[in-house]
Amino acid sequence: MLQMMMGARVYDTDKFKQAMDSRYYPLDAMKQSVAILKSADNIDIETMEFGQYQPILAPLEINPNGAKPWLKSVGFARLQLTAQPNTTPLSTDEPDVIPLTRCALLDACIRKCFNSATPICMQVNVTQKAKDAPNPDLHDIVLEWEYGTGSNVPTLLNLTMVCPYVALKS
């Protein structure tokens, strides 16, 4: 509960970002993460959702006291993103794939990264909405694909989880 109340500040640290990114970037690290997930008994890489793989790949980095606070934060974000309709296509190379919700879009992007013939690297950012932002009490995501020169096949996903605004307690 503390992490949800604190918003993005819990995960908006260089240490957390570096730990997460080291699992998904560069390509050799992403390939190693794919191999770990494929061999894990407690996840199906082809159907996994955002939030399920982090406790397997980086349990101490998401929370040294265990995965429950992480899963609670992710669950809260998933609930809010599931309630938000989506009109954004999955990617340039799959323009006809338009998941119905923002959460479904996030899940589809994650699966695309981990399940592509050549895995697609990710870089993760966590931020918090401004007090005066539209819907400051709701999660959002920003998903930006980078493509190889002259190609519409993605090589990198820049994933930003935008957490709700939470005022600092004085």
Residue by residue, pLDDT tens for the chain (170 residues) are 333 334 555 666 777 778 888 999 999 999 999 999 999 999 999 999 999 998 899 887 777 667 788 888 899 999 999 999 999 999 999 999 999 999 999 999 999 999 999 999 999 998 999 999 999 999 999 999 999 899 999 999 999 999 999 887 76
Tokens of residue 14, six digits: 């260089």
| Domain spans, the chain | 2-163
The secondary structure of 57-120 as a DSSP string is H-HHHH-TT-SHHHHHHHHHHHHHHHTSB----SBTTBTT---SBHHHHHHHHHHHHHHSSSPP
Torsion of CA 38, 109, 6, 21, to 10 degrees: 60
